Each structure stands twice: as structure tokens, then as C-alpha cells.
């Protein structure tokens, strides 16, 4: 690509000790130490007419209100409109609670205020550092996880190991080089839940270790990890050891460096970005079903209050939070189906002949595999956990199989689960956006 300018920046977003960590409802309390620092990193691209920005951050994802705040600040400070800005979270389960999850800790407004300003500041710095650049794209094989939807002999689907399940065993890389050929920044995308660590230490988990490896082996290039469609993919093994997370990060980092060194120039010309909001239908339970859920959660709360092994923090955050969900669940059931929907923003960016698609959800990996086959662009990088996260987004085929992602996780995100027709609606909107961008070239 000719006429492209690029700029990068990174900022430390490590929270203070005492903020709650997000991702596991059973934690006994808030964070007690910092094991390794968290970062937000920014890439800005400009072709003379259009400017786009990508942020990657060591957080579980950004709450919708934070997305709006950051977009407003970035528009003001860097001149990048919301549709042209992608905010991706690594989905680390050892980072701060910056989503409105039920039963997973309290948000810290003071920290979130600093986080928003730091992210916007990174975009401002990257915009002010724009210089002539060349872009290249690469891919290398890597596997640090496995499909986790295990089908038991009794017909149940549980979180385990599904050796025959779909995976995306590769890392995609977008590399930006200065005019002298030195690496400026490397965006590397892979799909695997960072869920090895379950303690009370702040950590970027395997994406952070991969970032260190890349920076050390690519001349100090700013390393930007972007999480893919890992809704049904866990890192492996999961033994809770930092050494294991470091090993996973080094494997991923090595593959990303390989992809970057073998990357080929991005063809085509010009930049573009667009968003489209899809309204996903929701599944409304019967009053009987919701009533049973409320009774069950009240019983769980009663037992937890009598269990000496359960901390007051767990009673308040986890069990009381689930009673609150069940009360809302019953209320929704009594109100009936009034056409409730969940807004879901599909974002697409064009960088010459490369497309980047970003979804605000825990997308099953099949979405990534599907776009790799069906995208009208020669290369497409597909991301989840971008510009918010509404919860798990399974494929239609997963609904009759059930399991945590279909039957349980939604109660941490909101009140109701999205319906199986979501797959068709998301696919149609995505292809329509991409085909429109392809025609505009």
C-alpha cells in the first residue's frame, strides 16, 4: 500500500491493588497483588482521507458506557469517529472488573476514569506520531488451547476437552514498518481464553508474556494482542501456574514473530470503516422456569451464608448477585415476549486488500473459521470482545447441545439469552458490510 502513515503508542493501565478481578465468580475477594503490568496499546492508520484506530488492552473487555466515553474522548483528541475505532479486550480473567457483570465484583469508577483517559491518550499520542509506513500481513500456525465443549456419554455438554471440536490454530499478524524498514508495531490476533490463572494477582496472562517476547525479538515494536473468536476455546493446560502462562505466551510470541518476519505486503489501497447494529432476539422463559431459577438461587444463598468456607465477599458478590439475576429473570418471564432484543454492533475495517471484522461478544470459533472461508477479501482478521461484550454468541448448532455457554453464562452478563437465529443475522450483516467495502475499492 502506498501513501499510508502509521503511528503507535502504549500506556500502562495497571490498576491499584484492591480492585476486583473479573472473569471468575468464585474468587474469595478482590486483588491482593500485582504480578505483572497491564497495557493498552494503540495503532492509528491514515491514507490522507481516512483515519482509523485500533486499541488492544489487557482487560476482559470494555463496558458499553466506557466504549462511549472513550469514543467521545478519541474523537475530541484524535479526530477518529466511533465507527473508525476498534476497542479490543484481551479477555484476561486476571484483570480489573470494567464490565457490568453480575456476580463478578464491583466496578471502580475512579480507576475507570483513569483508564478511559489513558486509552484516549494513547490514541492521541499515536495520532501525533504518524509517519510514512509500509504494512504487511502474515499468518503462522500455533496452538496453545483446545475446544472446550466436551460431550459426555450421558448427553451433557460440559467445559472440558473436545479433541474433535473446531479451532483456529493460527496467529494473524498485521505489521507496520517505518520508511527505513524498522518495525513500528505488530498487531497479532489469536483465539484462546486467557483463563489459566485463578488467583488474586493482577496479570495480563499469556498475551502479556507474548507481548514481551515480541518486543524483545522485533526491535522494540509495539506488540498489540487482539483476541479472536475464542468463546469455545480455552488455553491449555490450565494449572494456575505463572510458568505455564509464560510458556503459552512464548509459544504464541514465537509464532507471531515468525508470521511477522514472513509477512507479505498488504495489497490494494485505501482505508475504510463502518459499523452496523443488529438487533438479536432474546429467549424469554416461562414463569414456571424462572420461578424455579429464583428458588434455586435463594437456596444457594441460604447455604452459602451458613458455610464457613464461603467468604462474606462471595456471599455478597456471587450469591446475592445471582438472586438479583433470578428476580429479573422472573420479572422478564411475567412480562412475556414483547419483542425484546439485544443490540449487537458489527464493525468492519478495510486496509487495502485486508479486512478486519470485530464483534462485541464471546464468539464461537466457527464465526472466525466461516469468515476465513467466505470473506470477499483475500485476508480477513476476525475479532471478538471488541467495542463491548454482550456475552456468549454460539452458533445455531450449539443450542440443542446446551452447555455453559448456552444455558448458564448469560446470567452473569444480563438477564436473557440471545436466540439461535443470531447466527444468521450476524452472518448476513457481516457479509453485507464486507461486500460493500469490497465494491468501494
- Give me the percent of the chain exceeding a pLDDT of 90: 94
Alpha helices (H) along 59-108? 64-78
Q: Which of the four pLDDT bands, split at 50, 70 and 90, describes residue 283?
A: very high
Asked whether residue 111 falls in the same domain as residue 226, the answer is yes
Asked whether residue 301 falls in the same domain as residue 415, the answer is no
Asked whether residue 120 falls in the same domain as residue 179, the answer is yes
How far is residue 196 CA from its own chain's centroid? 16
Asked whether residue 305 falls in the same domain as residue 181, the answer is no
Mean pLDDT of 47-52: 95
In a domain, 17, yes or no: yes
284-310: burial string, b at 16+ Cβ within 10 Å, e else: bbeeeebbebbeebeeebeebeeeeeb
Comparing CA positions, the residue from 279, 256, 266, 163 lying closest to residue 207 is 256
Q: Which of the four pLDDT bands, split at 50, 70 and 90, describes residue 153?
A: confident
255-265: burial string, b at 16+ Cβ within 10 Å, e else: bbbbbbeebee
Mean pLDDT of 339-355: 96
Pairwise CA distance, residues 425 & 439, whole Å: 21
Could you list the residue range(s) of the whole structural domain that residue 297 is in?
285-336
Domain end point (choices 293, 317, 336): 336
Domain end point (choices 293, 318, 336): 336
> For the whole model, what pTM was predicted?
0.97
pLDDT at residue 100, rounded to an integer: 83
In a domain, 277, yes or no: no
Contact 13, 102 (CB under 8 A): no
Mean pLDDT of 371-377: 97
Pairwise CA distance, residues 293 & 93, whole Å: 27
Give the pLDDT confidence of 289-319 residue by residue, as tens digits: 999 999 999 999 999 999 999 999 999 998 9
Mean pLDDT of 348-353: 97
Pairwise CA distance, residues 283 & 343, whole Å: 14
pLDDT at residue 137, rounded to an integer: 98
End-to-end CA distance of the chain: 13
In a domain, 221, yes or no: yes
- Give me the percent of the chain exceeding a pLDDT of 70: 100
Contact 252, 206 (CB under 8 A): yes
In a domain, 266, yes or no: yes
Domain end point (choices 336, 358, 374): 336
Q: Which of the four pLDDT bands, split at 50, 70 and 90, describes residue 340?
A: confident
Asked whether residue 256 falls in the same domain as residue 292, the answer is no
In a domain, 278, yes or no: no
Asked whether residue 315 falls in the same domain as residue 351, the answer is no
pLDDT at residue 441, rounded to an integer: 65
Contact 351, 362 (CB under 8 A): no
Asked whether residue 103 falls in the same domain as residue 119, the answer is yes
Asked whether residue 50 falls in the same domain as residue 195, the answer is yes
Contact 39, 202 (CB under 8 A): no
Asked whether residue 298 falls in the same domain as residue 178, the answer is no
Asked whether residue 142 falls in the same domain as residue 204, the answer is yes
Q: Which of the four pLDDT bands, split at 50, 70 and 90, describes residue 26?
A: confident
pLDDT at residue 333, rounded to an integer: 95
Average pLDDT value over all residues in the chain: 96
Q: Which of the four pLDDT bands, split at 50, 70 and 90, describes residue 25?
A: confident
Q: Which of the four pLDDT bands, split at 50, 70 and 90, describes residue 104?
A: confident
pLDDT at residue 207, rounded to an integer: 98
In a domain, 279, yes or no: no
Instruction: Say how many domains are in the chain.
Output: 2
Vertex 206: Cα angle to 201 and 208 (nearest 5): 80
Between the CA of residue 263 and those of 139, 140, 175, 342, 371, what are the distances in Å?
7, 10, 8, 39, 20
Asked whether residue 353 falls in the same domain as residue 424, the answer is yes
In a domain, 280, yes or no: no
In a domain, 377, yes or no: yes
What's 396's DSSP letter?
G
Asked whether residue 359 falls in the same domain as residue 239, the answer is yes
Mean pLDDT of 113-140: 98
Q: Which of the four pLDDT bands, split at 50, 70 and 90, describes residue 2?
A: confident
Pairwise CA distance, residues 219 & 214, whole Å: 8
Amino acid at each position: 500500500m502506498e501513501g499510508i502513515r502509521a503511528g503507535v503508542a502504549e500506556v500502562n493501565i495497571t490498576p491499584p491493588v484492591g480492585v476486583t478481578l473479573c472473569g471468575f465468580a468464585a474468587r474469595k475477594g478482590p486483588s491482593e497483588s500485582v504480578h505483572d503490568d497491564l497495557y493498552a496499546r494503540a495503532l492509528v492508520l491514515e491514507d490522507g482521507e481516512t483515519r482509523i484506530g485500533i486499541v488492544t488492552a489487557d482487560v476482559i473487555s470494555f463496558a458499553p458506557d466506557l466504549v462511549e466515553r472513550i469514543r467521545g474522548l478519541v474523537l475530541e483528541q484524535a479526530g477518529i469517529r466511533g465507527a473508525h475505532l476498534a476497542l479490543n479486550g484481551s479477555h484476561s480473567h486476571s484483570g480489573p472488573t470494567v464490565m457490568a457483570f453480575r456476580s463478578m465484583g464491583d466496578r471502580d469508577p475512579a480507576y475507570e476514569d483513569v483508564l478511559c483517559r489513558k486509552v484516549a491518550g494513547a490514541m492521541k499520542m499515536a495520532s501525533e506520531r504518524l509517519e510514512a509506513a509500509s504494512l504487511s500481513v502474515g499468518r503462522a500456525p500455533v496452538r496453545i488451547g483446545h475446544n472446550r465443549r466436551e460431550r459426555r456419554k450421558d448427553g451433557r455438554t460440559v467445559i472440558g476437552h473436545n479433541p474433535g471440536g473446531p479451532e483456529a490454530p493460527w496467529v494473524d499478524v498485521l505489521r507496520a514498518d517505518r520508511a527505513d524498514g524498522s518495525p513500528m508495531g505488530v498487531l497479532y490476533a489469536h483465539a484462546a481464553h486467557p483463563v489459566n490463572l485463578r488467583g488474586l494477582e493482577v496479570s495480563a496472562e499469556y498475551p502479556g508474556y507474548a507481548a514481551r517476547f515480541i518486543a524483545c525479538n522485533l526491535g522494540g515494536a509495539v506488540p498489540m494482542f487482539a483476541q479472536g473468536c475464542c468463546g469455545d476455546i480455552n488455553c491449555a493446560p490450565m494449572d494456575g501456574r505463572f510458568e505455564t502462562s509464560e510458556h503459552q505466551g512464548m509459544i504464541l510470541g514465537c509464532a507471531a514473530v515468525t508470521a511477522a518476519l514472513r509477512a507479505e505486503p498488504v495489497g490494494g489501497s485505501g482505508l475504510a470503516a463502518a459499523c452496523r447494529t443488529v438487533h438479536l432476539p432474546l429467549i424469554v422463559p416461562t414463569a414456571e422456569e424462572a420461578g424455579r431459577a429464583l428458588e434455586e438461587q435463594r437456596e444457594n444463598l441460604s447455604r452459602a451464608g451458613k458455610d464457613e468456607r464461603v467468604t462474606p465477599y462471595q456471599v455478597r458478590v456471587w450469591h446475592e448477585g445471582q438472586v438479583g439475576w433470578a428476580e429479573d429473570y422472573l420479572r422478564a418471564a411475567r412480562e412475556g415476549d414483547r419483542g425484546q432484543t439485544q443490540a449487537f454492533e458489527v464493525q468492519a475495517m478495510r486496509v487495502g486488500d485486508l479486512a478486519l471484522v470485530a464483534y462485541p461478544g464471546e464468539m464461537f470459533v466457527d464465526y472466525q473459521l466461516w469468515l476465513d472461508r467466505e470473506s470477499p477479501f483475500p485476508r480477513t482478521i476476525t475479532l471478538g470482545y471488541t467495542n463491548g461484550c454482550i456475552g456468549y454468541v454460539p452458533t445455531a448448532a450449539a443450542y440443542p447441545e446446551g452447555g455453559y455457554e448456552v444455558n448458564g453464562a448469560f446470567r452473569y452478563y444480563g438477564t436473557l439469552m440471545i436466540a439461535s437465529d443470531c447466527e444468521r443475522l450476524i452472518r448476513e450483516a457481516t457479509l453485507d458490510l464486507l461486500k460493500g467495502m469490497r465494491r468501494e475499492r
